Structure 1
Amino acid sequence: MRDFKIYISIASILLIIYLVAQYNKPNAVNWQPSLAKNDKIPFGTFILHNQLSQLYPEATLVNTNKSIYNVFHNDSLQKGNYIIIAKNITLNKFDFKELLKYINAGNSVFMSAFEFKGFFADSLQIESRAENSAKNVSLNFVNSKLKAGKNYVFNRDVVNQYFNSLDTAKATVLGKNYAEHCTLISYKFGKGTLYLCSTPAAFTNYSLLTKQGADYAEKALSYLPQANYVYWDQFQNGDIPEDASPLRVFFANPGLQWAYYISLFGILVYVIYEMKRRQRIIPIIEPLQNSTLEFVNVVGQVYYEKRDNANIAHKKVIYILQHFRDQYRLKTNKLDPEFIDDLSKKTGLDIAYTTDLIHALIFISAQHQVTDSELIRLNRLIEKFYSQTGYNGK
């Protein structure tokens, strides 16, 4: 017994040590590229979003959570810079039209994504592709004032995207990778400029924690002029917790929102005035009585008073023939010796009794008048059949 207690104690100590170790074990690093502004994982954009106030000290940072069309169509945006860092950017014809209006008015838009799709990409004739290289990828700027003495080197698969196709007559190349493929381009529209970057991972926490990564991101965003407002787009990256509440329609409309609040206030007032407990008189409900026996007695009395023995006998014949068809799959159009033999074999009843039963059914079916003794004899034969075959009427 003492040895057993020692084993239990050692096992308990080991279990406690294991549980403590599991509890204090660091969480596995999430390497998924979320590009979300609140994510502190390697490929989130928490650092960049918080450093925008350092890059544009005089600007007010505003987060937008509506589609491109809704953001630019309502004319609520002030003059400034609009930034989109997303996994992919898809703009239709109407989005692109409203975007161009904003840029033509003298504003700047910076977009960086792994892939550009939709009418927007087709109009600008741009297409993204990834380098098939086993070594680290390096980037640099074309402008001599921004170009570094040595390329900015990034780990493999971090910034390996580039623009495989673009309209060189309209696009201005601002940055390239080690293979001379374009990674940063710009388009001039009216008084403003559109900047496109194929390497959004260069603006993530993983990249900005290195000196050269931070320097590259700062220089890339330096193309955006100083402005009073800097807008950070959350919609294109899906960086918005979806409101699945049924009340979202009310809160999206000021009129419905006030109606909702007034209704709540009215209900509260009603509850306060009706707090006095009111109990209705509970009626006594008598339990339902079983009237089956009474019904049977009434029906039997009706038949007895009418003395319609033939009707009762014919119904009994019909019911038992239906039972032969349903239970034993026998055809009852011919009640001949062959039928009697099949019924006897399937039920296991004596052939003599089975013959008496079938002859009684045939006799009764042909009668227009049935005496009491004939009805009683038929009933006994049928009840005997049900009893010996184990049929309970269900």
Structure 2
Amino acid sequence: MKDFKIYITIACLLLGIYFVTQYNKPDDINWQSTLYYKDKIPFGTYITYNQLRWLNPRAHIVNTNKSIYNAFHGDSLQGGTYIILAKNITLNKFDFEAMLKYIKAGNTVFMSAFDWRGYIADTLKISSRAEYTSKNTTLNFTNNKLKRPVDYSFNRDIANQYFDSYDTARAVVLGMNHYEHSTFLSYKFGKGKLLICATPAVFTNYSLLTLQGADYAEKALSYLPAAKYVYWDQFQNGDIPEDGSPMRVFFSNPSLQWAYYLCVFSLLLFVIYEVKRRQRIIPVIEPLKNTSVEFVNVVGQVYYEKRNNANIAHKKTIYLLGYIRERYKINTSKLDKEFIAMLSQKAGVELSIIQELVVTLLFVSTHGHITDHELIKLNHLIEQFYIKSR
């Protein structure tokens, strides 16, 4: 038994060590390209988003999850810079025209994506594709002030995207790869400009943790002028947080939301009121028992054991005559023919029954010994009188 406990102890210790090891084991690296500003995985944009304050210290960084049209339409945006980093960018005619109006007013829009679709691709005549090479892809700027003597080198194919077509008459090339394919373009519209980049992965955490990647991203973003407001778009990349709460249906509808708040407030008010008004439990009091029947049974048993029929007949006679005096206001001192006729008339009982009852009453009042049969007869006549009288 002792050896068995030792084995159990060792097994529990090993199991505990296994669980602790598994719990503290680092998670597998997620190489998915999300470009999400909160992701710290290699291809998230956590560093770029947080470094915007360092690149433009006086700017207010504002996140927007509105569609392009809703964001640029009207006066919802202040003057400044609008940044879109997404896996693909799709703009229709209304989106593009609303964005163009914002740019022409003297603002800047920076866009970087792997794929370009819709009206913006047709209008700017842009399309992108990837270089397929076994070597690392290199990038550089065309501006001599920013150009590096040795090209920026990127691995894991994060800089292999480029523009294979674009409107050369309108676009200014700001960056190229080692095949002299354009990767960074600028368009002038009114007082502002549109900057588009074919390599969004160079702005991810994986790239910025290298010296070359950080330097390239810093110089690329230096084309963004100093502005009071910098807007970070979440809509194009699908970074709109979804509410997984079971109450999302209520909170998405103002009427249901207020109805929910009203119910919660009413329930809270009811609970508070009930707590103050709650009384102690009232004990159950059993009703008093009716002992009349038991009393009659006891008295009847006493009289029955004494066998004094005359006394019982006398008492029943006295009670009956008292009832007649009180109920019908008839004098009972003389039980004669006049009494019989008056009682029959007032009580509504047949004259023959009244006559038989009076004869029996006179009989028991004048005899000292009453048999059981005579007592029963008297009781039967009295009950019959009570039943038939009105």
TM bracket, shorter-chain basis: 0.5 to 0.7
Q: Indicate the residue corresponding to 2:309 in structure 1.
A: none
**Deviation at residue 272 of structure 1 after TM alignment:** 4.6
Aligned residue number for residue 235 of structure 1: 235
Query: 1:191 — aligned with what?
Result: 191
Within-5 A mapping of 1:165-204: 165-204=165-204
CA contact (8 A) 1:135 1:156 kept: no
For 1:156 and 1:180, how far apart are their aligned partners in 2? 20
* SS across alignment from 1:175: strand
Alignment of 1:82 onto 2:82: yes
In structure 2, what residue type is equivalent to 1:128? S
**What whole-Å deviation, never above 9, does each CA across 1:32-63 have from its counterpart, x for those lacking one?**
11111111111111111111011001111111
Cα deviations across residues 355-377 of structure 1 (Å, max 9, x unaligned)? xxxxxxxxxxxxxxxxxxxxxxx
- Assess, with a 3 A threshold, how the Cα gap between structure 1 residues 247 and 72 changes in structure 2: closer, same or farther: farther
Matches within 5 A, 1:229-308: 229-243=229-243, 261=261, 264-265=264-265, 268-269=268-269, 272-273=272-273
**3-state SS of the aligned residue for 1:115?**
strand
In the alignment, the residues of structure 2 paired with residue 45 and residue 267 of structure 1 have an alpha-carbon distance, to the nearest angstrom, of 45
Residue of structure 1 in register with 2:93 after alignment: 93
Superposition map of 1:138-217 within 5 A: 138-217=138-217
Distance 1:205 1:90, change over 3 A: same
Q: In the alignment, which residue of structure 2 is the partner of 1:25?
A: 25
For the Cα contact (< 8 Å) 1:43–1:205, is it kept in 2? yes
What is the CA-CA distance between 1:123 and the residue it aligns to? 1.4
CA distance in 1, matches of 2:23, 2:257: 45
Q: Which amino acid aligns with 1:209?
A: L
Mark the CA change 1:254 to 1:102 in structure 2 (over 3 Å): closer, same or farther.
farther
Change (3 A) 1:20 1:263: closer
Residue 71 (str. 1) matches residue 63 (str. 2): no
Partner of 2:50: 50
Shift of 1:248: 5.4
Give the C-alpha shift of residue 236 in structure 1: 0.9
2:321 — aligned with what?
Answer: none
The residue type equivalent to 2:202 in the other structure is A
> Secondary structure of 1:101's partner?
helix
Query: Shift of residue 18 of structure 1?
Result: 2.9
Structure 1 residue runs without a partner (length 5+): 279-394
| Equivalent AA in structure 1 for residue 37 of structure 2 | K
Query: Which amino acid is 1:165 matched to?
Result: S
Structure 1: how far apart are the matches of 2:274 and 2:18?
58
Stretch of structure 1 that moved more, 247-256 or 98-107: 247-256
Shift, 1:211, TM fit: 1.1
Q: Please, what TM-score do these two structures have when normalized by structure 2?
A: 0.65
Query: Does structure 2 retain, via aligned residues, the 8 Å contact 1:86–1:237?
Result: yes
CA contact (8 A) 1:103 1:194 kept: yes
Structure 1 counterpart of 2:186, one-letter code: S
Structure 1 position 156, deviation (Å) = 3.2
Rg (Cα) greater in structure: 2
Q: Percent identity?
A: 68
> Given the two structures, how large is their TM-score scaled by the length of structure 1?
0.65
Structure 2: any 5+ residue segments left out of the alignment? 280-390
Structure 2 CA distance for aligned equivalents of residues 18 and 253 of structure 1: 49
Q: Kindly report the root-mean-square deviation, in angstroms, between the aligned alpha carbons of the 2 structures.
A: 2.7
**Matched position secondary structure for 1:31:** coil
Q: 1:259 to 1:70 in 2, by over 3 A?
A: farther
Shift of 1:74: 3.5
Deviation per CA, 1:196-239, whole angstroms, max 9, x where unpaired? Answer: 00111100111111111111001101111101111111111111
Amino acid at match of 1:137: T
CA distance change for structure 1 residues 107 and 260 in 2, over 3 Å: closer, same or farther?
farther
Aligned length: 279
Question: Cα distance, 1:118 vs. partner?
Answer: 1.4
Question: d(CA) in 2 for partners of 1:37 and 1:222?
Answer: 19
